[in-house]
Copies of this chain bind each other. A is one copy, B any other.
């Protein structure tokens, strides 16, 4: 074998979104090229090319001199047989990092810069570090609205797009931050029952205790092929699928995999992320839900208005009909927080159960009503009544069951985890404040969303009077370790404030 080629060996190590290559320290190539551990290399075989981070191996049982080991992901991406010959070179840093450095230096980027950056990210030319640099450099107020439009367009172009061949394709999206806010699972069956096309694809939870995909998964398969998705939408006018399989705006998912561990979240990136995904999914009409409250993502009315205008600016330039609803984000919506508990709430509303959480029902009807008014045949102001009629008549429930059957129903078990802790009121008063972040954190520590039956079940909501010793909420868990973490956190701060009428937080908006 020449000094320049190595034999590929598949290494049974899962390195998630990051390609890793393994080279024996005694390998001639390693010494000749002056490779360093953690440097980025380019591997070529037979027309195929992948980039990977290098790890240096001292154990010939893992990889021998003359071999190049590849982690599962890198091996799959390179897509050649084990033992194939490959060549290895230093990877050039991505050329679009020049634009990122210009942005760090305070310059304004143009459409071409954003196109180059998203192309390099999609082609795995960016390391996690480089993506973090891009995210921070374009975070917060560092993008003006034209740059935001350029970024959205570039993210949209980075992947595939769907075309439903209809003039009205409806969608809704909440910017997040409110636990239990599972309105999509009510809006979709109502709107689809009205006959409008609403092919909803959702994400799994990123930092929250449950996403729509996690919750829908309690009832039905959400991992659909593009063909299945299209068939179901053609038949039923709506679906509730996981969006991860479609290659829509893939840059968004790659950036989120860095945003999540960093815990950074900028308004500009949120607008670009949401709109690029929705446009790629073929939406023509979009309703955005912006909850406002002291522990919501948006805390002040003026911030909500600024964000609304950003959405409108980018939406108008990208030719999507976009409306924004600013909603009450003072507390969690519904009772359950966590996949199983939220699925239970949704089914109660659909079944017109008198015990169904009224706030979840009410908000979902308002959102569905606004979407129904996208229909040119609906008279302005009539959407809410139509939505309520669809829900109360049981047509929404029938539609939901049809969707569940079509996606593939699951044996339904809506019982929460077997470990349960009750959190009680320490004295008499009124619930004046419920902290969305704290409730979400307790539910996450209890195991949600990974542990489907874990979470928090709220008994008292804002404004409810309580006596000392009354039950405020329950924590559910499946594993003792999770249970203890959640109990400990609730013991430090249970998220509820008990006070008097004066102290009750008022909504920032009139509904």
Contact = CB atoms under 8 A, between A and B. Distances in A.
Contacts of A106: 140-141
18 contacts: A11-B59, A12-B59, A14-B57, A32-B481, A33-B481, A55-B71, A58-B72, A62-B62, A93-B263, A104-B264, A105-B140, A127-B261, A129-B132, A129-B261, A130-B262, A132-B133, A133-B133, A136-B137
Interface string A14-41: 1111101010010000001110111110
A16 B32 contact: no
A510 interface: no
A491 interface: no
A1 interface: no
A13 interface: yes
A101 to B, nearest CB: 6
Interface in A138-191: 139-141
A412 interface: no
Interface string A456-482: 000000000000000000000001010
Contact of A18 (B36, B38, B57, B451): B38
B56 A14 contact: yes
Contacts of A56: 13-14
B104 A140 contact: yes
Contacts of A132: 128-130, 132-133, 136
A81 B17 CA distance: 32
Interface of A: 11-18, 20, 22, 25, 32-34, 36-40, 55-59, 61-62, 71-72, 93, 97, 101, 104-106, 127-133, 135-137, 139-141, 258, 261-264, 266, 447, 450-451, 479, 481
Contacts of A135: 133
Nearest to A478: B32
Contacts of A61: 61
Contacts of A104: 136, 139-140, 264, 266
Nearest to A485: B90
Nearest to A447: B34
B14 A55 contact: yes
A55 B262 contact: no
A447 B90 CA distance: 12
A57 B71 CA distance: 9
Contacts of A105: 140
Given A106-B140, A140-B106, A55 B15 contact: yes
Contacts of A33: 481
Which residue among A20, A261, A479 has the maximum number of chain B CB atoms within 10 Å of its CB?
A261
A13 B58 contact: yes
A68 B61 CA distance: 17
A37 B15 contact: yes
Contacts of A450: 34
A51 B9 CA distance: 29
Contact of A16 (B38, B62, B137): B38
Q: Which 10 A-B pairs have the closest CB atoms?
A: A12-B59, A16-B37, A12-B58, A14-B56, A136-B136, A132-B132, A34-B450, A129-B132, A16-B38, A14-B37
A134 to B, nearest CB: 9
A32 B97 CA distance: 40
A417 to B, nearest CB: 14
A451 B266 CA distance: 45
Contact of A59 (B13, B97, B136): B13
Contacts of A38: 15-18
Nearest to A139: B104
A20 B13 CA distance: 12
A443 to B, nearest CB: 14
Nearest to A266: B104
